[in-house]
Amino acid sequence: MICDVVVTIDAGQCDAVLFDLDGVITDTVSIHQAAWKHLFDDYLARRPERVGEDQRWFTDGDYRRYVDGKPRYNGVADFLRSRGIGLSWGRTSDSDDAETVCGLGNRKNRYFRECLDHDGVSVFESTVDLIWRLRNAGVGAAVFSSSRNCQAVLEAVGLGDLFPVRVDGVVADRLGLPGKPDPSVLVEATRRLGADPARCVVVEDAEAGVEAGQRGGFALVIGVDRTGHADQLRQHGADVVVADLAEVEVQPVARRLSAIPDALTSWHELIGMLGHRRPAIFLDFDGTLSDIVDDPDAATLIHGADTVLQHLARCCPVAVVSGRDLRDVRRRVRVPGIWFAGSHGFELTGPHGQHYEHSGARAMLPALDRAAAALRERLADVPGVLIERKRFAVAAHYRTVAAERVGEVGAAVREVAQRYDHLRVSSGRKVSELRPESDWDKGQALRWLLERMANGRAAVPIYAGDDLTDEDAIETVRASGIGIVVRQAEHGDRRSAAHFAVNGPDELRKVLHRLADLLDTARKVGR
């Protein structure tokens, strides 16, 4: 069994998916492999024997290790180097009978085009189906390839217009981009899509490709194993490996942030959803009750938020659910009578001394200590990065890191995560985190809190938050409650499952103030 988990691409947390061409979209791997074998077997057979050179036949293992997924000339050079053979690089204009790296690469390309013209190529229909499912969910798609034949192959199978963005060997050469496993080609694709690698998925079948995805700090790297090398894909950076993309599900969400109704101008619709039922209020802290700041330690409640929270707490249950440590968020929100959930809900307290700590997460504290130390060492030369050791997480903040080095931060976090079986990577606003691997998140914490906050009385959960980590909770209340997303300019026009939106923490304060007045009036009338 290659994949023992359900692989889901959440449209609320994913802006785009980047697909490799050969072996993922089209069944051209066998053609490439045959062309490479023809090239090297013929070349090695004709080359005079020399001391220190290995002239055995080209194997499937050689293909995966030295040429698969790489730019053609790099593949030639890497394989020959593995056999102790050194040739001059030559020029890309070399004839295909020249004994240079470029000459051999051009000869391989001739063999490939001859096979393509003679035998044709087939498409993996499950991949095309996934691309259309993503498109229907509003998720972008791009194709990338080390091959200079990418567009010709797509046109040969009738998919020439499927992708709005294509970054292939021709584009990479024109821009001077290094090939895989360097992530530059992938990063260029996300740039052209107007997306962030931390919100994009890479789909690859080659070891060099999954390594590029891992090094580029992408949110998820899916390996496709059609030839029985799943373990190698995982070792090189794949987060999960599937046999076919039919195993990948797409979870759609309703709208872009710009299309979500404003909570203030749609006040009557919001109150209509609440009806005469009693609410329970759940609020994120950073970017929701506080303005976004460059230094996480400088975050404070916005003016008037403490008064509104106190007012609400007299009328209904209130909880602050934050990614910050419990002690930290309680220090910043000094409001009595409310619940607090810190570390995305791994530690919770109530107004009457109640306390809960996730036992499984507690067992991972030593691993988190080691991971924090490893990240500090790994990113010591990246100016602006801040490694924060929370109680149940390690956060790598990159708000003040130069744009060209942001990918290094995400890649380092993923690299460290691979050393520990029970740590997972989570992405938020300008931060990558390592957390204990579990089914616990803000949504699960909300459910746990709701059972205890309402004292057995039915309550309508209202959750407000601004970040990707808040979508777990917003999705949780989608069917039976009210989700409010706090729009931030730096988030762009991402997608959210929220019912309503506000523009910044101050607008949320106004919504909460209206709600508190409404509940207070109802409470007094009901006396």
Rounded to whole angstroms, the Cα distance separating 283 from 12 reads 19
Phi and psi dihedrals of 291, rounded to 5?
Answer: -70, 155
Rounded to whole angstroms, the Cα distance separating 486 from 496 reads 10
**C-alpha radius of gyration, the chain, whole number:** 27
Contact 218, 409 (CB under 8 A): no
Instruction: List, edge to edge, every strand of the sheet that includes 482-487.
Output: 355-357, 347-349, 339-342, 318-321, 279-283, 460-465, 482-487, 500-503
In the numeric block, the tokens 């691409």 are attached to: 9
Rounded to whole angstroms, the Cα distance separating 441 from 43 reads 57
Burial of 195 (0-12, 13-18, 19+ CB in 10 A): buried
10 DSSP assignment = E
Nearest to residue 432, comparing CAs of 420, 414, 445? Answer: 414
Helices (H), 258-405: 267-274, 305-313, 326-332, 359-362, 365-378
Catalytic residues, by residue number, are 284
In three state form, how does the secondary structure of 67-108 look?
HCCCCHHHHHHHHHHHCCCCCCCCCCCCCCCCCCHHHHHHHH
In the numeric block, the tokens 């962030």 are attached to: 196
